[in-house]
Structure 1
Amino acid sequence: EFMGEGRRLDDLRRWHKGNYVDRQPTGVWVNNASADKVKVTGGANSNEGYVYYYGQPTGWKEYYYLCPLPLEELALNKNLEQNPEWSKSNK
């Protein structure tokens, strides 16, 4: 629902669909990867295909469904604890 409104991350969290972003992002199609010195995927051979942006996607972590609590709120209320997996050094 939020996809075209700049709120896609909220939508993924709400519907628990983080796995939708667990794909290898690819770039443009090239026909001569060896001349361009790039790594490709999805082609008929190793010399043509879509360019890899990077080696391995980081993937969606389970703790991404929870937002980290603001450090200011943690400082104001000593009874609060940071959400699991988020360290107090992250915002």
Structure 2
Amino acid sequence: MTRSEILATVREELAVAAPDVPADADTAAHFGVDLGVDSLAVLEFVARLEYRYGIAVPDDAWPGLTSMDAVADHLHGALVTAS
């Protein structure tokens, strides 16, 4: 799976967990600071991605998951390592 495919899925799942985020939001925008996504919505969002991809995000990775780009990079790396 390519990073761009993962990013499309990230956008899709973010739209479910945080429907107020614009569909064309900058992928580098900070969830809390720039997009106004609260921590509970981020938790739901990442949990949805974990379920969708069948992976677990380690506790030490959570602080770095601050944007769609960061999440896509993490997932891409995890999926490449898993395959």
Larger RCO: 1 or 2 (CA < 8 Å, sep 6+): 2
Q: TM-score, normalised by structure 1?
A: 0.23
TM-score (structure 2 length as normaliser): 0.24
Kindly indicate which of the two structures has a greater share of residues assigned to strand: 1
Radius of gyration: which is bigger?
Answer: 1
